[in-house]
A and B are shown apart, each in its own frame.
Chain A
Amino acid sequence: MLVTVLVVGIPFGIVARQAGLAPAEIVAMSVFVFAGASQFAMVQLFKDGAVWPVIVATVLLINLRHLLMATALRPYFAHVSEARRLAAAFVLTDEAFAMGIGWFRRGRTELMYYATFAVALYLLWNTATVIGMLAGPAIGEPRRFGVDFAITATFVAIVVLGVRRRSDAIVALAAALLAAALAALGASVVAVVTAGALAPLLVLFFREEGAA
């Protein structure tokens, strides 16, 4: 999992740089936002010329799932200080959650495991960002080498890796098609994001299936 962070973080640095973001802006995203998919989404939205409230709203939608993760982790943090809980929240990611919850559910209670892993992810993500950012300008003519497609390819890969049930695939396909149709009609990026927020309502029409 630590390697995954490197291989996603480096491309993030590259595409952010290719999109014309300043080094300080790119580093600030990894240091303060620290959310992989959201950061790629931000780069795409910057490229699309989205205004800041749209970007912030999109990032919020992508990260609302942390409510569920924090709710599941909360009991294991009940005995620690408020400050530690709030620090644990800052480094909460899908990866840290997966490792942490697996650990706690095996009956272990040490928070150092979660903390060490989560902080390692944070440091690696930021290191990878800087490496990619420095490498970015070395790749000339992004269109010729298809580098402009890297961000879209990353989105597709993230979605495919996240598909656990048939309904996940249907929701993603519906979101992509609806968004593309709206874009073809000249709709703004707000409509595109709205399509993404509406598509998951489809899951309510599916009978629940167990995760594969």
Chain B
Amino acid sequence: MTWLAIAGSAVVTYAARAFAFRVALPSGLPRGVTRYLDALPAAIIAALAGPAILVPGGTVMRGPELVAALVVIAVVAWRRNLLAGVLSGVATVALLRLVLAA
């Protein structure tokens, strides 16, 4: 199961990378297609993050995750630094859980 997922992911990733090296795509792909493909990765990532932020553990909004996500957005927008954002988000969640549990 896990290995099929890894092997399949390796194959499709390489296919996506190699395809246009082998086959000349029309240099003027329709503008809409280009823009869709450009926006796609971030949208998929955002879709994976959304439930974990707003519906963590299957229950609607318990709080820490949403606050932490906002902290990550602010820190990354300000510092343009991924690690700083992740660390501040993790620290926020840990702190809020501690406070809320007390």
Contact = CB atoms under 8 A, between A and B. Distances in A.
Contacts of A77: 21
The residue in A25, A153, A196, A200 that gathers the most chain B C-beta atoms within 10 A of its C-beta is A153
Contacts of A53: 8
A70 B18 contact: yes
Interface string A189-207: 0001101110111111000
B43 A197 contact: yes
A155 B45 contact: yes
B100 interface: no
Contact of A156 (B31, B80, B85): B85
Contacts of B44: 41, 58, 61-62, 175, 193, 196-197
Interface string B16-31: 1111111011010101
A109 B73 CA distance: 39
A187 to B, nearest CB: 9
Interface string A160-186: 111100011001111111111011100
B47 interface: yes
A52 B12 CA distance: 13
Interface string A139-171: 000011111011111111111111100011001
B51 A55 contact: no
Most chain B CB inside 10 Å of its own CB: which residue of A25, A151, A159 = A159
Interface in B31-86: 31-32, 34-55, 58, 60, 65, 68-69, 72-73, 76-77, 80, 82-83, 85-86
A61 B58 CA distance: 25
A8 B82 contact: yes
Interface string A85-105: 110111010000000000000
A111 to B, nearest CB: 12
A204 B31 CA distance: 9
B62 to A, nearest CB: 12
Chain B binding surface, main DSSP class: helix
Interface in A15-67: 21-22, 25, 28-29, 32-35, 37-38, 40-42, 44-46, 51-53, 55-56, 58-67
Contact of B65 (A37, A62, A152): A152
Contact of B93 (A60, A149, A157, A173): A149
A85 B90 CA distance: 41
A169 B52 CA distance: 18
A42 B3 CA distance: 12
B90 A180 contact: no
Given A56-B8, A146-B94, A156 B73 contact: yes
List the 3 shortest-distance A-B pairs measured between CB atoms, nearest first.
A196-B47, A176-B50, A153-B89
Interface of A: 4, 7-8, 11, 21-22, 25, 28-29, 32-35, 37-38, 40-42, 44-46, 51-53, 55-56, 58-71, 73-74, 77, 82, 85-86, 88-90, 92, 143-147, 149-163, 167-168, 171-180, 182-184, 192-193, 195-197, 199-204, 208
